[in-house]
Chains A and B, each alone.
Chain A
Amino acid sequence: MANNFDWLMGLSAQSVVAPAGHGKTEMLARAAAQGKQTLILTHTHAGVHAISARARRLGVAKDSVTIDTIASWASRYAYAFPKLAGNPPRNPKGAEWNQVYQGALNVLSSPTTHRIVQASYERIFIDEYQDCEGHQHAIAVALARILPTVIFGDPMQGIFEFVDTKIGWGERVIPDFPVAAELTEPHRWSGSNPTLGQWIADTRTRLLSGHPIDLREAPITYLPVENAFDMGLFFDGFDDREGPTAAIHCRRKICDGLARASRGAFQAIEEIAAARLIDFAMQWDAAQFGRQKAEALWSLLGDTMARNLAQAIPPDNLYEFDARRQAAWDVLVATGSAQSGGDVIAHERGHPLARTFRGELLNDAKRALIELSYGRNESLVQACQHARQRLSHTGRSPSKRVVSTPLLLKGLEFDHVLIPDAAHFLTERFACAKLFYVAISRARHSLTIASSNPVLHFPKPML
Chain B
Amino acid sequence: MRIAKLVAYNFRGIRSLTWEPGSQAMSCIIGPGDSAKTTVLDAIEATLSPRWITFSEADFHLGNSLNAIQIEVTIAELSKTLLSDQRFGLYIRGLADDGSVHDEPEAHHDPALTIRLTVDATMEPVWELICDRYPAPRVLSNRDRSLFGVVRLAGEEARHLTWGQGSVLARMTGDTEGAANQLADAYRVAKQTANLSSIPSLVDTAVRAEELAKQLGAYVNHGFGPDLELGRGGFSSGSIALHDGSIPLRMSGLGTRRLTTLAIQRASIKEGAIVLVDEIEQGLEPHRILGAVSALRSAQDQAKSSSAPTGQLLITTHSEIVLSELKSDSLFIMRRSVEGDASISSVPYDAFSRILKHAPRALFARRILVCEGATELGLMLGLRELFRTRHLDVPVEHLGVAIVDGNGAAAPALATALASLGYAIALFRDSDQPLKTSTSNLLQTHDVQVFEYGSLLCTELALFGACWPDMEDKLISAAIASLGEATIYAQLRPAFPGSDVTAPTACWVPAAPGADANWVRLANLAIQFKWFKSEERGRAISAVVDQIVQLGQPTPLSLCIRGLEKWAYGQ
Please determine whether A120 and B85 come into contact, CB atoms closer than 8 angstroms. Answer: yes
Within 8 A of A (CB), among B72-106: 80-86, 89-92, 94, 104-106
User: What are the residues of chain A within 8 A of B107 when measuring CB–CB?
Assistant: 110-112
B105-125 interface mask toward A, CB cutoff 8 Å, 1 = contact, 0 = none? 111010100000000000000
With A112-B92, A112-B109, A112-B111 already in contact, the answer to whether A84 and B104 are too (CB < 8 A) is yes
**Cβ of A85 to closest chain B Cβ, rounded Å:** 10
Most B C-beta atoms less than 10 A away, residue of A79, A80, A83, A117:
A80
Most B C-beta atoms less than 10 A away, residue of A66, A81, A119, A120:
A119
Please determine whether A116 and B89 come into contact, CB atoms closer than 8 angstroms. Answer: yes
**Cβ of B90 to closest chain A Cβ, rounded Å:** 4
A100-122 interface mask toward B, CB cutoff 8 Å, 1 = contact, 0 = none? 00000000001110011101100
Please determine whether A76 and B104 come into contact, CB atoms closer than 8 angstroms. Answer: no
B530 within 8 A of partner (CB)? no
User: What are the residues of chain B within 8 A of A79 when measuring CB–CB?
Assistant: 133
User: What are the residues of chain B within 8 A of A63 when measuring CB–CB?
Assistant: 86
A82 within 8 A of partner (CB)? yes
User: What are the residues of chain A within 8 A of B82 when measuring CB–CB?
Assistant: 119
Most A C-beta atoms less than 10 A away, residue of B81, B90, B92, B106:
B90
A436 within 8 A of partner (CB)? no
With A81-B104, A112-B109 already in contact, the answer to whether A119 and B92 are too (CB < 8 A) is no
A77 within 8 A of partner (CB)? yes
Bound-state CA distance A83–B105 (Å) is 9
Please determine whether A76 and B85 come into contact, CB atoms closer than 8 angstroms. Answer: yes
User: What are the residues of chain A within 8 A of B91 when measuring CB–CB?
Assistant: 80
Please determine whether B84 and A116 come into contact, CB atoms closer than 8 angstroms. Answer: yes
With A76-B90, A82-B104, A83-B104 already in contact, the answer to whether A116 and B133 are too (CB < 8 A) is no
Bound-state CA distance A160–B92 (Å) is 38
Please determine whether B104 and A116 come into contact, CB atoms closer than 8 angstroms. Answer: no
Please determine whether B105 and A117 come into contact, CB atoms closer than 8 angstroms. Answer: no
B90 touches which of A37, A66, A115, A116 (Cβ 8 Å): A116
User: What are the residues of chain B within 8 A of A80 when measuring CB–CB?
Assistant: 90-91, 133
Within 8 A of B (CB), among A423-448: none
Please determine whether A115 and B83 come into contact, CB atoms closer than 8 angstroms. Answer: yes
Instruction: Please give me the residue from chain A that is nearest to B133 by CB atom.
Output: A82
A108-140 interface mask toward B, CB cutoff 8 Å, 1 = contact, 0 = none? 001110011101100000000000000000000
Please determine whether B86 and A116 come into contact, CB atoms closer than 8 angstroms. Answer: no
A120 touches which of B86, B94, B109 (Cβ 8 Å): B86
Bound-state CA distance A84–B103 (Å) is 12
Interface size on B, residues (CB 8 A): 19
Please determine whether B89 and A119 come into contact, CB atoms closer than 8 angstroms. Answer: yes
B85 touches which of A83, A111, A112, A116 (Cβ 8 Å): A116
Within 8 A of B (CB), among A43-62: none
Instruction: Please give me the residue from chain A that is nearest to B111 by CB atom.
Output: A112
Bound-state CA distance A302–B336 (Å) is 80
User: What are the residues of chain A within 8 A of B89 when measuring CB–CB?
Assistant: 116, 119-120
User: What are the residues of chain A within 8 A of B81 when measuring CB–CB?
Assistant: 119
Bound-state CA distance A264–B81 (Å) is 53
User: What are the residues of chain B within 8 A of A66 when measuring CB–CB?
Assistant: 86
Instruction: Please give me the residue from chain B that is nearest to A79 by CB atom.
Output: B133
Bound-state CA distance A120–B104 (Å) is 19
User: What are the residues of chain A within 8 A of B92 when measuring CB–CB?
Assistant: 112, 116
Instruction: Please give me the residue from chain B that is nearest to A116 by CB atom.
Output: B89
**Cβ of B459 to closest chain A Cβ, rounded Å:** 65
Instruction: Please give me the residue from chain B that is nearest to A37 by CB atom.
Output: B84
Instruction: Please give me the residue from chain B that is nearest to A119 by CB atom.
Output: B83
Instruction: Please give me the residue from chain A that is nearest to B132 by CB atom.
Output: A82
Instruction: Please give me the residue from chain B that is nearest to A80 by CB atom.
Output: B90
Bound-state CA distance A63–B92 (Å) is 21
Bound-state CA distance A116–B83 (Å) is 5
User: What are the residues of chain B within 8 A of A116 when measuring CB–CB?
Assistant: 83-85, 89-90, 92, 111
With A83-B104, A110-B107, A112-B92 already in contact, the answer to whether A117 and B133 are too (CB < 8 A) is no
Bound-state CA distance A110–B89 (Å) is 13
With A77-B90, A119-B81, A120-B89 already in contact, the answer to whether A112 and B133 are too (CB < 8 A) is no
User: What are the residues of chain B within 8 A of A37 when measuring CB–CB?
Assistant: 84
With A66-B86, A80-B90, A112-B92 already in contact, the answer to whether A119 and B80 are too (CB < 8 A) is yes
User: What are the residues of chain B within 8 A of A111 when measuring CB–CB?
Assistant: 107
**Cβ of B152 to closest chain A Cβ, rounded Å:** 26
Instruction: Please give me the residue from chain A that is nearest to B105 by CB atom.
Output: A112
**Cβ of A114 to closest chain B Cβ, rounded Å:** 10
Instruction: Please give me the residue from chain B that is nearest to A111 by CB atom.
Output: B107
User: What are the residues of chain A within 8 A of B111 when measuring CB–CB?
Assistant: 112, 115-116
Bound-state CA distance A279–B81 (Å) is 48
User: What are the residues of chain A within 8 A of B85 when measuring CB–CB?
Assistant: 76-77, 116-117, 119-120
Bound-state CA distance A82–B106 (Å) is 12
**Cβ of A112 to closest chain B Cβ, rounded Å:** 5
**Cβ of B270 to closest chain A Cβ, rounded Å:** 14
**Cβ of B372 to closest chain A Cβ, rounded Å:** 56
Bound-state CA distance A77–B85 (Å) is 9
Bound-state CA distance A77–B133 (Å) is 12
User: What are the residues of chain A within 8 A of B94 when measuring CB–CB?
Assistant: 112
B270-281 interface mask toward A, CB cutoff 8 Å, 1 = contact, 0 = none? 000000000000
Most B C-beta atoms less than 10 A away, residue of A76, A82, A115:
A115
**Cβ of A266 to closest chain B Cβ, rounded Å:** 43
**Cβ of B374 to closest chain A Cβ, rounded Å:** 59
**Cβ of A205 to closest chain B Cβ, rounded Å:** 41
Please determine whether A120 and B133 come into contact, CB atoms closer than 8 angstroms. Answer: no
**Cβ of B143 to closest chain A Cβ, rounded Å:** 13
Within 8 A of B (CB), among A62-87: 63, 66, 76-77, 79-84
A364-394 interface mask toward B, CB cutoff 8 Å, 1 = contact, 0 = none? 0000000000000000000000000000000
Bound-state CA distance A83–B131 (Å) is 13
Bound-state CA distance A365–B571 (Å) is 86
Bound-state CA distance A66–B90 (Å) is 15
A278-292 interface mask toward B, CB cutoff 8 Å, 1 = contact, 0 = none? 000000000000000
**Cβ of A139 to closest chain B Cβ, rounded Å:** 15
Within 8 A of A (CB), among B336-380: none
Bound-state CA distance A79–B135 (Å) is 11
User: What are the residues of chain B within 8 A of A83 when measuring CB–CB?
Assistant: 104
**Cβ of A234 to closest chain B Cβ, rounded Å:** 48
Instruction: Please give me the residue from chain A that is nearest to B81 by CB atom.
Output: A119
B247-282 interface mask toward A, CB cutoff 8 Å, 1 = contact, 0 = none? 000000000000000000000000000000000000
**Cβ of B446 to closest chain A Cβ, rounded Å:** 43
**Cβ of B415 to closest chain A Cβ, rounded Å:** 47
Instruction: Please give me the residue from chain B that is nearest to A84 by CB atom.
Output: B104
Please determine whether B84 and A119 come into contact, CB atoms closer than 8 angstroms. Answer: yes
User: What are the residues of chain A within 8 A of B84 when measuring CB–CB?
Assistant: 37, 116, 119-120
Instruction: Please give me the residue from chain A that is nearest to B108 by CB atom.
Output: A111
User: What are the residues of chain B within 8 A of A76 when measuring CB–CB?
Assistant: 85, 90
User: What are the residues of chain B within 8 A of A77 when measuring CB–CB?
Assistant: 85, 90
Most A C-beta atoms less than 10 A away, residue of B81, B83, B89, B94:
B89
Bound-state CA distance A63–B87 (Å) is 11
Instruction: Please give me the residue from chain A that is nearest to B94 by CB atom.
Output: A112
Bound-state CA distance A77–B109 (Å) is 18
**Cβ of B111 to closest chain A Cβ, rounded Å:** 6
**Cβ of B80 to closest chain A Cβ, rounded Å:** 4
Q: Which A residues lie at the B interface, using CB under 8 A?
A: 37, 63, 66, 76-77, 79-84, 110-112, 115-117, 119-120
A-B contact pairs, 24 of them (CB 8 A): A37-B84, A66-B86, A76-B85, A76-B90, A77-B90, A79-B133, A80-B90, A81-B90, A81-B105, A82-B104, A110-B105, A110-B106, A112-B94, A112-B105, A115-B111, A116-B84, A116-B85, A116-B89, A117-B85, A119-B83, A119-B85, A119-B89, A120-B84, A120-B89
A81-B133, A119-B83 given; 7 more Cβ-contact pairs under 8 Å: A37-B84, A110-B107, A112-B106, A116-B90, A116-B111, A119-B89, A120-B84
Q: Which B residues lie at the A interface, using CB under 8 A?
A: 80-86, 89-92, 94, 104-107, 109, 111, 133
Report, nearest first, the 7 A-B pairs whose CB atoms are least far apart.
Answer: A80-B90, A119-B83, A116-B89, A120-B84, A120-B85, A119-B80, A83-B104
